Structure 1
Amino acid sequence: MADAGAPAVSQHNKPVKNSWWHNNQQSMTPWLFLAPGILFFLFYVIFPIYQSFSLSFYSWDGLGEAEYVGAYNYEELYWDDAFYTSLRNNLIWLVMYLFAIPAGLFIALFLNQTVTGIRLYKSLFFFPFVISQVVVGLVFTWFYDPTFGLLNYILGGVGIPPINVLGDENFVTYGIIVAGLWPQTAYCMILYLTGLNAVDPEQIEAGRLDGAKGLRMLWHIIIPQLRPATFIAFVVTIIGALRSFDLISVMTNGGPYGESRVLSFYMFEVALSEYGFRMGYGASIAVVLFLIMLVFIAYFLWSMYQEEKAR
Structure 2
Amino acid sequence: MASSSSNKSPENAVNSASELVAGKRLRASDVAPWMFLGPALIIFSIYVLFPVLESIWLSFFEWDGLGEKTFIGFGNYIELFDSDQFWTALTNNIMWMVLFMLAPPMGLAIALFLNQQVYGIRLVKALFFFPFVISQVVVGLVFSWFYDPSFGVLNSVITFFGGDPVSILADEDLVTYGIIAAGLWPQIAYCMILYLTGLNNLNHEQLEAARLDNAKGWKMLWYIVLPQLRPATFIAIVVTVIGALRSFDLVATMTAGGPWGSSTVLAYMMYEESIFNYRMGYGAAVAVVLFLIMDIYIAYFLWRMIRSEK
Alignment TM-score, normalising by the size of structure 1: 0.92
Partner of 1:135: 138
* Alpha-carbon distance between aligned partners in 2 of 1:136 and 1:225, rounded to the nearest angstrom: 33
User: Is 1:160–2:179 an aligned residue pair?
Assistant: no
User: Is 1:46–2:49 an aligned residue pair?
Assistant: yes
1:174-189 alignment runs, 5 A limit: 174-189=177-192
* Alpha-carbon distance between aligned partners in 2 of 1:144 and 1:177, rounded to the nearest angstrom: 13
* Alpha-carbon distance between aligned partners in 1 of 2:15 and 2:305, rounded to the nearest angstrom: 54
Partner of 2:7: none
**Shift in CA distance, 69/208, structure 1 to aligned 2, threshold 3 Å:** same
Partner of 1:196: 199
Query: Structure 1 residue 30: deviation in Å?
Result: 2.0
Query: Structure 1 residue 114: deviation in Å?
Result: 1.1
- CA distances 1:258-293 after superposition (whole Å, capped 9, x unpaired): 1010000001011111x2x11110011011101111
- CA distances 1:195-243 after superposition (whole Å, capped 9, x unpaired): 1111101111111222221111111111111111111111111111011
1:81-100 alignment runs, 5 A limit: 81-100=84-103
Q: Which runs of 4+ in 1 moved over 6 A?
A: 12-15
Partner of 1:3: none
Query: Structure 1 residue 41: deviation in Å?
Result: 1.6
Query: Structure 1 residue 19: deviation in Å?
Result: 9.5
Query: Structure 1 residue 34: deviation in Å?
Result: 1.6
Partner of 2:209: 206
Partner of 2:4: none
1:233-248 alignment runs, 5 A limit: 233-248=236-251
User: Is 1:252–2:258 an aligned residue pair?
Assistant: no
- CA distances 1:5-47 after superposition (whole Å, capped 9, x unpaired): xxxx7xx999665596544112321221122112222222221
* Alpha-carbon distance between aligned partners in 1 of 2:221 and 2:228, rounded to the nearest angstrom: 10
One-letter amino acid matched to 2:252: S
The answer for unaligned runs of 5 or more in structure 1 is: 1-8
Partner of 1:102: 105
Identity %: 59
1:1-311 alignment runs, 5 A limit: 17-18=20-21, 21-273=24-276, 275=277, 277-309=278-310
* Alpha-carbon distance between aligned partners in 2 of 1:102 and 1:263, rounded to the nearest angstrom: 26
- CA distances 1:122-161 after superposition (whole Å, capped 9, x unpaired): 0100100111111101100000000100000111122221
The answer for unaligned runs of 5 or more in structure 2 is: 1-9
* Alpha-carbon distance between aligned partners in 2 of 1:167 and 1:153, rounded to the nearest angstrom: 17
* Alpha-carbon distance between aligned partners in 1 of 2:168 and 2:231, rounded to the nearest angstrom: 37
**Shift in CA distance, 51/205, structure 1 to aligned 2, threshold 3 Å:** same
* Alpha-carbon distance between aligned partners in 2 of 1:210 and 1:27, rounded to the nearest angstrom: 51
* Alpha-carbon distance between aligned partners in 1 of 2:153 and 2:14, rounded to the nearest angstrom: 90
| Secondary structure at the counterpart of residue 103 of structure 1 | helix
| Secondary structure at the counterpart of residue 219 of structure 1 | helix
Count of aligned positions:
299
* Alpha-carbon distance between aligned partners in 1 of 2:21 and 2:117, rounded to the nearest angstrom: 61
* Alpha-carbon distance between aligned partners in 1 of 2:26 and 2:33, rounded to the nearest angstrom: 15
Query: If each structure's helix is expressed as a fraction of its own residues, which one has the higher value?
Result: 2
* Alpha-carbon distance between aligned partners in 2 of 1:142 and 1:13, rounded to the nearest angstrom: 81
* Alpha-carbon distance between aligned partners in 2 of 1:41 and 1:228, rounded to the nearest angstrom: 26
* Alpha-carbon distance between aligned partners in 1 of 2:22 and 2:213, rounded to the nearest angstrom: 61
| Secondary structure at the counterpart of residue 163 of structure 2 | coil
Query: Structure 1 residue 163: deviation in Å?
Result: 0.3
- CA distances 1:171-201 after superposition (whole Å, capped 9, x unpaired): 0000000001001111111111111111101
**Shift in CA distance, 203/153, structure 1 to aligned 2, threshold 3 Å:** same
| Secondary structure at the counterpart of residue 62 of structure 1 | coil
* Alpha-carbon distance between aligned partners in 2 of 1:20 and 1:14, rounded to the nearest angstrom: 12
Alignment TM-score, normalising by the size of structure 2: 0.92
